[in-house]
Amino acid sequence: MRHMTTPHLLALKKQLNALEAERLSPFASLSSEGIRRRPEEGQEEDHRQSFAVDGDRVLHSRAYTRYIDKTQVFYMVKNDHITHRVLHVQLVAKIARTIGRYLRLNEDLIEAIALGHDIGHPPFGHDGEKVLDALCREHGLPSFQHNLQSVQFLERIERQGRGWNLTLQTLDGIMCHDGEIHNRRLAPVRGKSFADFDREAAAKGLDRRLELIPMTMEGCVVRFADTIAYIGRDIEDAIELALVSRNDIPARCQEIFGRTNGSMVYRLVTDLIANGLQDGAIAFSEEVAAGLKELKGFNYERIYLNPAIKQGLGKITDCYRVLFASCLEQFAKQERQAEMYAIFLQEQGQEYFAGRQPAEMARDFIAGMTDAYFLRQARVLGCETPGKI
């Protein structure tokens, strides 16, 4: 039941919007400019500003709840101090809001993008993403990419296929968040429409190498914050697991960033803030950008591509294939008594089914699984699953 908002609260919202226009940077996104794909009944009566509503909706999504058991980098390890996806997105939100506060950007939009940016990650992180991508392409689907799947969950899967009707600015920031691409400087591509957004999503699905640029400065900040949040934290986790030592960090990186995650985050955040918004762009200094690129190279060589962290990947890959095949069969035959069909498809409304192939449904169901649920379902189907080490 909708409760009527009092005139007093609506007046406060009007004041907040006016304060934004007065206080925020000319490069910031104003809450009053939030664009939704569909008009909403009673939206004018809501005392909350548009991007704050987006943040609330992301937090209350079922997909956000499943962050709690999603791999960040290291999987199948017996160590409760290793970063999971839920912590990563919170770190991104905190770091990005700090940067946004000093640059006078919209912190509500920053938070909504940051909290939602990884919702589409499948089980077992980027390794799982590569396996699911191969399966999708084998079945005639576009490339699987977690940023595109995040948009799928929030627009077309949550709420029985109705989605959350988030603003274009939030969805664009989520889709364009790719923190693995190395940029020294980012300037937003302003003035996008939902038609532009849909064209970019389709093009990215056909070419994963296509670089998308956010339409807002807030989206650019989250993209940088994503890198800042993982680069040092992944090193700390690797040290915890005795894969690397602090002495292994390249000498020049130690000189620029120090030897701990805390010093790395501080140096990177401080550098972005100190450089300010130059000519409508956010940028690292040349020294820090070069050091960050070298540090990324170190992480890839010594951590992300290290065979020691991929123990069990062969079994996980086999489980992905068996699960995908089973889902495909159940969804194609509409076996309503089957567990996977009952758990996933019977919760969906007609909006979800419109124009969807069984392979797309299999992709969506598996992408939404937590690591533990994935392993349980794989064992039900007779798969040999890896054990934690």
Secondary structure, 3-state, 39-105: CCCCHHHCCCCHHHHHHHHHHCCHHHHHHHHCECCCCCCCCCCCCEHHHHHHHHHHHHHHHHHHCCC
3-state helix, strand, coil in the chain (%, to 5): 60, 5, 35
Q: Is residue 333 part of a domain?
A: no
Q: Is residue 170 part of a domain?
A: yes
Q: What is the reported pTM?
A: 0.95
Residue pair 299/258 in contact (Cβ under 8 Å)? The answer is: no
Q: Is residue 244 part of a domain?
A: yes
| CA pair distance 362, 321, nearest whole angstrom | 11
Q: What is the pLDDT of residue 5?
A: 62
Q: Is residue 59 part of a domain?
A: yes
Q: What is the pLDDT along the chain (389 residues), one digit of tens a residue?
A: 455 568 888 888 888 888 899 999 999 999 999 999 999 876 767 888 999 999 999 999 999 999 999 999 999 999 999 999 999 999 999 999 999 999 999 999 999 999 999 999 999 999 999 999 999 999 999 999 999 999 999 999 999 899 999 999 999 999 999 867 889 999 999 999 999 999 999 999 999 999 999 999 999 999 999 999 999 999 999 999 999 999 999 999 999 999 999 999 999 999 999 999 988 999 999 999 999 999 999 999 999 999 999 989 999 999 999 999 999 988 888 776 677 777 787 778 778 888 889 999 999 999 999 999 999 999 999 999 999 88
Q: Is residue 257 part of a domain?
A: yes
Residue 323: count of CB within 10 angstroms of its CB: 24
| CA pair distance 32, 299, nearest whole angstrom | 41
> Which spans in 76-188 are helix H?
85-102, 107-116, 125-138, 146-152, 168-175
Residue pair 378/319 in contact (Cβ under 8 Å)? The answer is: yes
Place of tokens 């004041």: 15
Q: Is residue 181 part of a domain?
A: yes
Q: What is the pLDDT of residue 1?
A: 42
Q: What is the pLDDT of residue 342?
A: 74
Q: What domain range is 258 assigned to?
A: 49-123+143-310
Q: What CATH number should be reported for the domain holding residue 293?
A: 1.10.3210.10
Helices (H) and strands (E) in the chain, counts: 18, 3
DSSP for 207-256, please give it.
-TTPPP--SSHHHHHHHHHHHHHHHHHHHHHHHHTTS--GGGS-HHHHHH
Q: Is residue 162 part of a domain?
A: yes
Place of tokens 């995908």: 324
Q: What is the pLDDT of residue 3?
A: 54
If one counts the domains in the chain, the total is 1
Q: Is residue 375 part of a domain?
A: no
